[in-house]
Homo-oligomer: A and B are copies of this chain.
């Protein structure tokens, strides 16, 4: 297979998208052979993958591989692309757990299947049908990820070397997601605890583990693994902190979620914990009445935003993002990483903390 190594992020992302769509098209053909009733599952999976998505995990994995100096192949790229399907599972299940209505500007999967139930006047609860469908589509995405990795065409020994990282990443994701759900239920206001949740549910899973996975595919030594942790762990936390800021201040057109959605969902983020820490009784009361309120108005969102700014919580979080990012930058400068990969990781550093691609 003719394959020219590139460290251009957009080019890699395009290749990742192409491999994902090829895989899903083949699997959908198979689903259709099982039963034509699976057509809505197949098209929902395809649509979900086509809708934007930054492909951060495949990108980090592939750059992690390039950092080892091994020669990339389309098979390696395909193996890295498989990580995206783990993320698809996480997003679909997350939306059920948060009872989110939208994802990437479109109805969340459970809402889409709920609507299909209503339009076709099916029997039983439309809401329950939506939830069941989203659970199963998420499960299927998780299984597809493994299948795509297994049949990527990479050498068997290379696959065996990377599987432990792949498993670790998925266990940490599920553990982190549970901690997140539990944290909301505790209504925790601890900054320290929120940071820990952020580390597991998002940081390690988005950056450190994909880098390790790619590194394992390239036969990395433990020194490179360590450099990737030194870069990935602080950057992962910075990534989640940026996500928290966008969850309250983000432009719906860019986030694909309504304004202030994290407030509506009652998310206990680091930003919110900081704000509570710095708030007086009146501000605390205003925040508490907004948190988890499904009928939150834009005016209430604005009020909470003002408190976050006035208390200085936003500056503290922005400072934290800056300092975590600079730790990551410094790890990059001191680690022994191939120059092309180093340059791509520097770009990614900006992308995940500023969030444009």
- Residues of A near any B CB (own CB < 8 A): 27, 30-31, 34-35, 37-38, 41, 89, 93, 96-97, 99, 117, 122-124, 128-129, 131-133, 135-140, 142-144, 146-147, 150-151, 156-157, 159-160, 163-164, 167, 170-172, 174-175, 177-179, 181-182, 184-187, 196, 200, 266, 292
Give the residue of B31, B128, B132, B175 whose beta carbon is less than 8 angstroms from that of A35: B175
Cα A182 to Cα B97 with chains together (Å): 21
Q: In the complex, what distance in Å separates the CA atom of A172 from the CA atom of B184?
A: 35
Query: Which B residues are CB-close (under 8 A) to A163?
Result: 150
Closest 9 CB pairs of A and B: A122-B185, A97-B132, A147-B167, A123-B187, A143-B170, A140-B174, A132-B181, A156-B160, A150-B163
Measured in the bound complex, the distance between the Cα atoms of B186 and A185 in whole Å is 36
User: What residues of chain B lie closer than 8 Å to A122, measured between beta carbons?
Assistant: 185-187
Residues of the B chain whose Cβ atoms lie less than 8 Å from the Cβ of A186: 122-123
Give Cα A30–Cα B182 distance, bound, in whole angstroms.
18
Instruction: Beyond A30-B171, A34-B179, A140-B175, list 10 extra A-B contacts (CB 8 Å).
Output: A93-B139, A97-B136, A122-B186, A123-B185, A124-B185, A133-B178, A137-B178, A150-B163, A150-B167, A156-B157
Among A30, A135, A181, which residue has the most Cβ atoms of chain B within 10 A?
A: A135
Specify the chain B residue showing the minimal Cβ separation from A40: B182
A38 & B143 in contact (Cβ 8 Å cutoff): no
Q: Which residue in chain B gives the minimum CB-CB distance to A187?
A: B123
